[in-house]
Amino acid sequence: MSTWGATLAALTALTAAVAGFAALSLAMDRHWEALHGRGSDPGTLRRWLQGGGSVGLLVSLLACIAMKGGAQGTVAWAGMLTAAAVIVVLLSTYAPARVPPLAKMMALVALVSALATALPGVL
Amino acid sequence: MKEGFRQSMAWLHTWSGLLVGWLLFLVFAAGTAAYFRDEITLWMKPELHAAAHPSVPQTVALGHAQTLLEGRAANASRWFITMPSEREPAVRASWMPARKKDAGEAKPRGRRRFESAELDPVTGTELSAPRATRGGDFFYRLHFDLHYMSPLWARWMVGVAAMFMLVAILSGIVTHKRIFKDFFTFRPAKGQRSWLDAHNVTAVLALPYHLMITFTGIVTLMFMYMPWGVQALYPSQDQFFTDLNNALPADAKPARRLAPLAPLAPMLAQASAAWDGAPVGRVTVNFPGDANATVLISRQAGRAIGYDQPTMLFNGVSGRLLSSSTPPGTATETRSVLYGLHIARFSNPLLRGLFFLSGLAGCAMVATGLMLWAVKERQKHAKALARGEGHFGLRLVDGLNIGAIAGVPLAMAAFFWANRLLPATMPERPDAEIRWFFIAWGVSALVALARPSRRMWQLLLALGGVLFALLPLLNAMTGGAHLGTAIAAGLWPVAGFDLVTLALGIALLFAARRLGRPAAIKKAPVTHVTAEAA
* Confidence (pLDDT) at B52: 60
Chain A residue with minimum CA distance to B184: A89
* Confidence (pLDDT) at B3: 65
Give the integer Cα–Cα distance in Å for B533 and B79. Answer: 44
Helices and strands (H and E) in chain B: how many:
22, 7
* Confidence (pLDDT) at B296: 92
Residue in B202, B119, B137 with CA at minimum distance from that of residue B371: B202
Over range B8-18, report the average pLDDT.
93
Q: For testing the chain A interface, which of B202, B351, B492, B532 should be mutated: the one with the most A CBs within 10 Å?
A: B351
Q: Which residues of A touch B492 (CB under 8 A)?
A: none
Q: State residue B160 phi and psi, 5-degree precision.
A: -65, -45
Q: Tell me if B351 and A83 make a contact (CB, 8 A cut-off).
A: no
Residue B288 DSSP symbol: T
Give the integer Cα–Cα distance in Å for A45 and A107. Answer: 17
B433 CB-side CA count, 13 A: 29
DSSP result, B358-389? HHHHHHHHHHHHHHHHHHHHHHHTHHHHHTT-
* Confidence (pLDDT) at B472: 97
Chain B residue with minimum CA distance to A22: B184
* Confidence (pLDDT) at B109: 43
What's the first-to-final CA gap in chain B, in angstroms?
Answer: 37
Q: Is A78 in CB contact (< 8 Å) with chain B?
A: yes
Give the integer Cα–Cα distance in Å for B366 and B374. Answer: 13
* Confidence (pLDDT) at B104: 45
B101 CB-side CA count, 13 A: 0
Distances in Å between the Cα of B411 and the Cα atoms of B84, B271, B288 are 31, 44, 42
| Cβ B84 vs Cβ B53: under 8 Å | yes
Residue B22 has pLDDT above 90, yes or no: yes
Q: What number is the ipTM of this complex? A: 0.94
**Alpha-carbon distance A25 to nearest alpha carbon in chain B (angstroms):** 7
Q: What is the pLDDT of residues B244-284, one digit of tens each?
A: 776 666 667 888 889 999 999 999 999 999 998 889 999 99
Find how far residue B286's CA is from the centre of its chain.
Answer: 28
Residue B504 has pLDDT above 90, yes or no: yes
Give the integer Cα–Cα distance in Å for B168 and B384. Answer: 30
Q: Is A66 in CB contact (< 8 Å) with chain B?
A: no
Residue B527 has pLDDT above 80, yes or no: no
Residue B358 has pLDDT above 70, yes or no: yes
Q: Tell me if B361 and A86 make a contact (CB, 8 A cut-off).
A: yes
**Alpha-carbon distance A110 to nearest alpha carbon in chain B (angstroms):** 18
**Alpha-carbon distance B337 to nearest alpha carbon in chain A (angstroms):** 10
Q: Which of residues 345-404 of B touch A (CB under 8 A)?
A: 346, 348, 350-351, 354-355, 357-358, 361
Comparing CB atoms, the residue among B185, B206, B305 nearest residue A71 is: B305
Q: Which residues of B touch A21 (CB under 8 A)?
A: 184
Comparing CB atoms, the residue among B184, B341, B361 nearest residue A92 is: B184
Instruction: Tell me the average pLDDT of chain B.
Output: 88
Find how far residue B244's CA is from the centre of its chain.
Answer: 24
Question: What is the CB neighbour count within 10 angstroms for residue B103?
Answer: 8
Question: What's the angle, vertex CA B263, arms to CA B258 and CA B265, rounded to 5?
Answer: 150
Give the integer Cα–Cα distance in Å for B521 and A113. Answer: 47
In this structure, the strands spanning B321-324 and B78-82 are unpaired
Q: What is the pLDDT of residues B154-205, one digit of tens each?
A: 999 999 999 999 999 999 999 998 898 899 999 998 889 999 999 999 999 9
Residue in B476, B477, B495 with CA at minimum distance from that of residue B486: B495
> C-alpha dihedral over A43, A45, A47, A51, to 10 degrees?
-160
* Confidence (pLDDT) at A122: 58
Q: Is A10 in CB contact (< 8 Å) with chain B?
A: yes
Distances in Å between the Cα of B237 and the Cα atoms of B31, B244, B313, B325 are 26, 10, 21, 19
Q: Which residues of B touch A76 (CB under 8 A)?
A: 350-351, 354
B84 CB-side CA count, 13 A: 24
* Confidence (pLDDT) at B99: 65
| Cβ B501 vs Cβ B483: under 8 Å | no
Comparing CB atoms, the residue among A80, A83, A93 nearest residue B186 is: A93
pTM confidence score: 0.90
Q: Tell me if A82 and B351 make a contact (CB, 8 A cut-off).
A: no
Q: Give me the helix-helix angle, A45-94 and B192-205, nearest 10°.
A: 120
* Confidence (pLDDT) at A1: 63
Q: Which residues of A touch B187 (CB under 8 A)?
A: 93
Q: Tell me if A82 and B357 make a contact (CB, 8 A cut-off).
A: yes
Q: Tell me if A72 and B184 make a contact (CB, 8 A cut-off).
A: no
Q: Which of residues 146-205 of B touch A (CB under 8 A)?
A: 181, 183-188, 201, 205
Q: Tell me if A83 and B357 make a contact (CB, 8 A cut-off).
A: yes
Over range B66-76, report the average pLDDT.
90
Chain B residue with minimum CA distance to A87: B184
Q: Is A93 in CB contact (< 8 Å) with chain B?
A: yes
Residue B307 has pLDDT above 90, yes or no: no
Q: Tell me if B183 and A78 make a contact (CB, 8 A cut-off).
A: no
Give the integer Cα–Cα distance in Å for B291 and B261. Answer: 8
In this prediction, residue B325 has a pLDDT band, given cuts at 50, 70 and 90, of confident
DSSP result, B198-253? HHHHHHHHTHHHHHHHHHHHHHHTHHHH--HHHHHH-S-HHHHHHHHTT---TT--
Secondary structure (3-state) at B177: coil
Question: What is the CB neighbour count within 10 angstroms for residue B411?
Answer: 24
In this prediction, residue B529 has a pLDDT band, given cuts at 50, 70 and 90, of very low
Comparing CB atoms, the residue among A72, A85, A93 nearest residue B205 is: A85
* Confidence (pLDDT) at B144: 94
In this structure, the strands spanning B280-286 and B321-324 are unpaired
* Confidence (pLDDT) at B200: 96
The helix (H) or strand (E) run that includes residue B187 is none
Over range A40-45, report the average pLDDT.
88
Above pLDDT 90, what percent of chain B?
61
Comparing CB atoms, the residue among B188, B346, B350 nearest residue A10 is: B350
Comparing CB atoms, the residue among A21, A28, A82 nearest residue B358 is: A82
Q: Tell me if A83 and B354 make a contact (CB, 8 A cut-off).
A: yes
In this prediction, residue B110 has a pLDDT band, given cuts at 50, 70 and 90, of very low
Residue in B368, B412, B420 with CA at minimum distance from that of residue B142: B412
Residue in B533, B345, B205, B464 with CA at minimum distance from that of residue A83: B205
Q: Which of B171-178's residues contact partners 24+ apart within 8 Å by CB, and which partners?
A: B171/B9, B171/B10, B171/B12, B171/B13, B171/B16, B172/B13, B172/B17, B172/B203, B173/B207, B174/B5, B174/B6, B174/B9, B174/B13, B175/B6, B175/B9, B175/B10, B175/B13, B176/B200, B176/B203, B176/B204, B177/B6
Residue in B247, B251, B252 with CA at minimum distance from that of residue B308: B247
Q: Is A111 in CB contact (< 8 Å) with chain B?
A: no
In this structure, the strands spanning B91-96 and B115-119 are antiparallel
